[in-house]
Structure 1
Amino acid sequence: MPGLLRGMARTAVVAGTATAVSNRVSRRQAGRWAQQDTAAYVQQAPAPAATPVAAPAPPAPAAASPTMDQKLEQLQQLAALKEQGILTDDELAAQKARILSG
């Protein structure tokens, strides 16, 4: 019986790892295809006609800086994105610095 449980646990770990790797590969491939599609669209798009430039909008009133709870929530969201493989270490560090400096 312990051998059966050990085999089932090993199978579950292998299947979970394979699923995670497969999902990450799929996301990366979809991102590459999206970049290729965007590049192809930009090359095919006609040059935009000259349009009059409107006066810039007045700056919005200064917003209060985020509270520590809001910063912590943003950092937790970033950590979740990092765990999912959406953010790289460098991107995480840059966003973390931005949040903590604001």
Structure 2
Amino acid sequence: MLGRRMGRGGLLRAAATTAVVAGTATAVSGGIRGRQDAKAQQAAEAQAYEQQQQQAQMDAAAQNAVAQQQAQQAAYAQQAPAPAAAPGNDLMGQLQNLANMHSQGILSDEEFAAAKAKLLG
């Protein structure tokens, strides 16, 4: 009888050992998989952050380019000569210049009258 118990005990012990080993292997592989998943998640987050930073830099560069273009257009608009006045407006401008010079005392009454008559024909 002792021999039989030993045989059965050995079989149970082998089954229990196998179960413990299998459970340990499952736990270890689950832990390894969990760490690998965490590392992969961190890498994906780092890559997403890097892409956001690059996009922000590109957006800032584009905004700077637009601002520079607007500044250049404004500078060009200030430098561009005024369009030539229409002939009727030119006569009015000359008369206003004469009136300004007369009111400032640059032209006397006679000089103002003579220049005005000359402009009016």
Q: TM-score, normalised by structure 1?
A: 0.41
Q: Which of structures 1 and 2 has the bigger CA Rg? A: 2
Larger RCO of the pair (alpha carbons < 8 Å, separation 6+) = 1
